[in-house]
Amino acid sequence: MKIQYDSQRVAYPFFIAAMVLFGAQILFGLLIGVQYIWPETLFPAIPFNIARMIHINLLVVWLIFGFMGSAYYLLPEEVEGEIYSVKLAYLHCVLFVIGGATAIVGYLFRWHDGREFLEQPTVIKVAIVIVVLMFIYNMIMTMVKGKKTTGVTVVLLIGFLGLAVFYLFAFYKPDNMVVDKYFWWWVVHLWVEGVWELIMAAILAFLLIKLTGVDREVAEKWLYIIVGLTFMTGIIGTGHHYYWIGTPEFWQTWGAWFSAIEVLPFAAMVAFTFKMISKKTREHPNRAAILWTVGAAVLSFLGAGVWGFMHTLPQINYYTHGTQITASHGHLAFFGAYVVICLAMISYATPIIRGVKVSNQKLEIFAFWTMVVSMLFMTFALTGAGILQSYLQRVLAYSYMETQGYMSLFYGLRLFFGVTFMFGLAIYLYDFFTIGRKEKHLN
């Protein structure tokens, strides 16, 4: 397949940054997985809290690189025109790399702010806002200059605008801990169960249109349904974080009802995906990209929908709040939704950008199953740990540390599947970095 617009190539450096940081994220994941079992590992050089911070910050940063790269790749085809400024795109890519790298190195030297996911020191936060604004400006100008406006680009833009707006709450740090937590969720929850879902749905729609050849009208109708369901459920669904933090009691009712139906947009993405695949009018040669795309719908439904629903009712969350159940859901949801949709786009776009027909399908498909099965089993291990923990600690009232002693088998399993995950990722990265290096180029 030939690239249609030259400026789509600007996606590639974003994908490279994303893949390098993804590798680093998992290395730190393995380190904290090891520290769970041998707590003295690398202490005091890289203590658990710092390595954990790096693990989850790298995740968020590389996903945003993945989203931006995906946007730059799909925009020209959608609006039928080149990216407004390729230079600006390169510039904010480099700035983001510098900002991200400074933050991570800074963490190693204990330069951080202290709130989970938002540990970036204020100057880095300002840099992130500037980068995102540069990106959004470029995106809007590309849409304005382009020939067409499509539902995919509008939904994508709303997603990115929301990403920027809600991040602003990261600057607000009230002294009162209840108020602090209350607004902390306006970033974390309204990102992953709100505006990021729009970004995901838009990328999913684009990929399905390209991979199946089904009419845009069909895809965009589904896209609007998903967007509607996301807003209808996710906003008030924030209440599922307000059960026990000192917020008014009515949240137990509102949070329960609305978050219970947060499953709907994810179920709609599954229905959408299978509908499109069943109506496909062409056999796309990139089977790996199809697999990742279908995987994003199915795994996000499992991780966010099923594993989210599992502990979202206050009657259950009373026992599971903050246990390994939360971690099991956090892993499968972030992976299934946002990691997999980024990898779907990267698998689809990279061969085209690199001027070859397809990537090494055998390797990519093997990497897909290795990573997916590993993540599923990591999730099962954590779920087992969480059930045991809820029972011993919350029902029988064992102490925290005594409970942890009984959970070591599950932590061992988590580490084992973390290692196999890394193996799958290594294969994926090998393929990603060799695409178009040996084969004859088409253009």
Residue 9 or 189: the one with the smaller Cβ distance to Fe ion is: 189
| For residue 44, cis peptide bond before it (omega within 30 degrees of 0) | yes
The amino acid present at 388, given as its one-letter code, is: L
Residue 65 or 196: the one with the smaller Cβ distance to Fe ion is: 196
- 415 interface partner picked from ligand HEM, Fe ion, none, CB below 5 to 8 A per type: ligand HEM
Supply the DSSP symbol for 357.
S
Residue 10 or 226: the one with the smaller Cβ distance to ligand HEM is: 226
Residue 37 or 133: the one with the smaller Cβ distance to ligand HEM is: 37
CA–CA separation, 215 vs 422, rounded Å? 38
CB of 30 to ligand HEM, least distance (A): 5
For ligand HEM, the nearest residue by Cβ is 308
* Binding site residues, ligand HEM, CB under 6 A: 26, 29-30, 32-33, 36, 52, 55-56, 59, 116, 192-193, 240-241, 259, 262-263, 300, 304-305, 308-309, 311-312, 317, 321-322, 326-327, 329-331, 333-335, 337, 339, 414-415, 418, 421
Residue 330 or 436: the one with the smaller Cβ distance to ligand HEM is: 330
Q: CA dist 140 to 130, 132, 146, 181, 300, Å?
A: 15, 12, 10, 33, 29
CB of 327 to ligand HEM, least distance (A): 4
- 112 interface partner picked from Fe ion, ligand HEM, none, CB below 5 to 8 A per type: none
CB of 272 to ligand HEM, least distance (A): 16
Helix, strand and coil in the chain, % to nearest 5: 80, 0, 20
To 10 degrees, what angle do helices 196-212 and 216-237 make?
160
The amino acid present at 39, given as its one-letter code, is: P
146: left (phi over 0), alpha (psi -120 to 50) or beta: beta
Does 311 bind Fe ion (CB under 5 A)? Our answer is no
CB of 137 to ligand HEM, least distance (A): 27
Tally Cβ neighbours within 10 Å of residue 246.
11
CA–CA separation, 17 vs 8, rounded Å? 16
Residue 134 or 201: the one with the smaller Cβ distance to ligand HEM is: 201
CB of 2 to ligand HEM, least distance (A): 32
Taking residues 176 to 215 in sequence order and writing x for each that binds Fe ion by CB under 5 A, - otherwise, the string is -------------x---x----------------------
**Angle at CA 274, nearest 5°, toward 272 and 278?**
120
CA atoms in the 13 A half-sphere facing the CB of 375:
25
CB of 393 to ligand HEM, least distance (A): 13
Give the CA-trace dihedral at 210, 214, 218, 222, to 10 degrees: -50
CB of 190 to Fe ion, least distance (A): 9
Q: Which residues bind Fe ion (CB under 5 A)?
A: 189, 193
